[in-house]
Structure formats: C-alpha cells, structure tokens
Amino acid sequence: MKKKKWIILFTTIVSTLFIIDVVASFYFYNLAIKRGPKDFLQGNSDLEVSAETLDVFLEGDWIDWTGQQEFETVEMTSFDGLKLHGYYLQSKEPSNKTVIFAHGYLGHAFDMGLFGEYYYENLGYNIFMPDLRGHGNSEGDYIGFGWHDRLDLIGWMNLLIEKNPNTEIVMHGLSMGAATVVMASGEELPANVKAIIADSPYTSVYDLFAYQMERMFHLPDKPILPSTSLVTDLKAGYSLTEASALDQVKKASVPILYISGEEDTFVPTDMAKRLYENTKSESEIITFSSANHGESIVLHRDEYLQTITRFIEKYVQ
C-alpha cells in the first residue's frame, strides 16, 4: 500500500510538471513568436539607449527623407503562400548597385531608411526594403526570426534580378534582420549577391531565447525552451535550434561584415564574434565602444559608414 502511494505521488508530480512545461511553452510562443503586441519589451533595460540615439531613432532627419521618397510597392507570394510586401526606390542615376535591407524584431521596412538614406544619397544605390513576414503589411501570424525570412529574401532577390539581370546586390540587416541576412548566406545565392552587412546578429534563435530567458525571467533554458521549440515547429514550421545563423555561415560563400556594439546587452557581442570565427567566406568584424544594441550607426556614424563603404567597395564594382 505504501509503495502504491509513492507511485501515485510520483505520477502526480511528473504529470504536474509536464502540464506546467506545456503551458509555459505555449506562453513563451505567444509571448515572443506569435504576431502581435509585445508588451514584455517595454521597460527592458537591455534595450535602453542613449538620449542621442533615441533622438535620432525617433526624430532624425532620415525619417523625413524616407517619407519624401516615392517608393514603388512590390508584392510577392512566399514559398508557403504568404503575400509579402516590399518597397523599391530606384537610384537617381541609372545604377546596377542595389541594397536589400532587413529590419529588426517588431519593426517594418521603412525603419531601414536610417541606413537607406546613405546608400541612396552617397553611394548611388537602388534601395529595396521588405516588410519581413509577420511585420508591417506582410502576411504571417508568426515571426520567423530570420529562418523562413531567409528564403523570402532569396525570392525578393530573384524579382530584383528579373528587373535588372546585371544588378549587384548587397544585403544589410539589423538585429533580427542581421540574423536573416546571415541565415541567407548559407543558401545557394544568385551570383549577383556580392556582400552582406550584419549589424548585431545572433547565433541562433535558441541561443537568443536562452540568453533572454536568463536575463529577463531568471530561468534556465531547460526544460521550457526545448518544449517551446516543439510548439514553434508545430505552429510556425521551424524549430528554435534549426534556425541557426551559426550553422549557415559555415556554408557561406558571400563576404560578410559583422558589426556589434561592445555594450550590447540584448544580443551580446560574443554572438557576432562566434559567427565571425565560424564563417567560411571572407569576413570581417568591427565592434564599437559604448554602443548598446543597434546604436553604432548613431554613436559612431562616420566610422560606421566609412567601414561599410570600404567593405562593400571591395566586392561591388
């Protein structure tokens, strides 16, 4: 009888823990991956930036510049049937140089006007800015964190190449967008793709979530994160470990420039360094002092722009 009570107690505990794990997995999926407002990021100290950076992000001249341009809206159906939207701006003078931007988590295409103004006004590039799936005007009830988005980018590339077979393409991504362009690097890319700029990328979605679970919730990654990965695979069609920029760069053939702020507490600089150390193609890395997540373009603007210009001019004629 006593043994039976212990079995019942053990079974009850295991069942309870299993239920808690399942509930937590769906909670974290809805919290981070399902499309919708993300109130949990409000007040996150890891995303705090300097007053100078905040002023540029919210009221910089680039916002007016972006709003004044006559972007052409382009539509594409993704490999899994989503209608995606992108925005194309032809250069002032005829050019075969095109930059494809990829924005960050919860952002939208025109956020990348912060960088686009320089490419357009100073480098003479055509600009293409897509809304990644689950963002802006693009369809999708989940956020891809770069994994499915990498294939969407290739679809956009093919459309741009149809428009101009001689175009030379640079991909430039920020944060989640940086992970997106790096994840794309491991695919068989068109020969038109000449260089990649990855500003503040993460090594994998699992690594990012594990880091953030510790930072934000003071929880270990196991057992919740592996279960969340299963839920993500079920509902969004990819697992958190599968979505690995680190694995992709080991197959890369296009040159990559990694950029990171040395004070980045949201996506730590070590992730960019690990990507750089494992990149198969030609690669460089630059880190900027006193810069938190995505701040380098503001706090070190001249050096940032000089660095990306020098890098891409090695590969784009």
* 293-308 per-position pLDDT tens digit: 999 999 999 999 999 9
CB 79 within 8 A of CB 128: no
Q: 118 is in which domain, residue-wise?
A: 45-204+243-313
Domain-located, residue 95: yes
Question: What is the full DSSP assignment across 234-281?
Answer: HHHS--TTTSBHHHHHTT--S-EEEEEETT-SSS-HHHHHHHHHH-SS
* 64-88 per-position pLDDT tens digit: 999 999 999 999 999 999 999 999 9
CA-CA distance, 302 to 126, in Å (whole number)?
Answer: 22
Domain-located, residue 191: yes
pLDDT at 12 over 70: no
Domain-located, residue 97: yes
Query: What's the number of domains the chain is made of?
Result: 1
Give the count of beta carbons closer than 10 Å to the beta carbon of residue 81: 7
Domain-located, residue 221: no
pLDDT > 70: what percent of the chain? 94
Q: What is the pLDDT of residue 48?
A: 85
CA-CA distance, 293 to 162, in Å (whole number)?
Answer: 35
pLDDT at 128 over 70: yes
Domain-located, residue 231: no
pLDDT at 247 over 80: yes
At 99, which amino acid appears?
V
CB 240 within 8 A of CB 205: yes
| CATH number (domain holding residue 161) | 3.40.50.1820
Q: What is the mean pLDDT of the chain?
A: 94
Domain-located, residue 216: no
Tell me whether strands 126-130 and 83-89 are parallel, antiparallel or unpaired.
Answer: antiparallel
pTM of the full structure: 0.94
Residue 158 pLDDT grade (very low, low, confident, very high; cuts 50, 70, 90): very high
Residues 6+ apart with CB under 8 A from 134: 35, 140, 141, 142, 143, 144
CB 288 within 8 A of CB 226: no
Tell me whether strands 83-89 and 72-77 are parallel, antiparallel or unpaired.
Answer: antiparallel
The beta strand positions in 138-189, using DSSP E, are 168-174
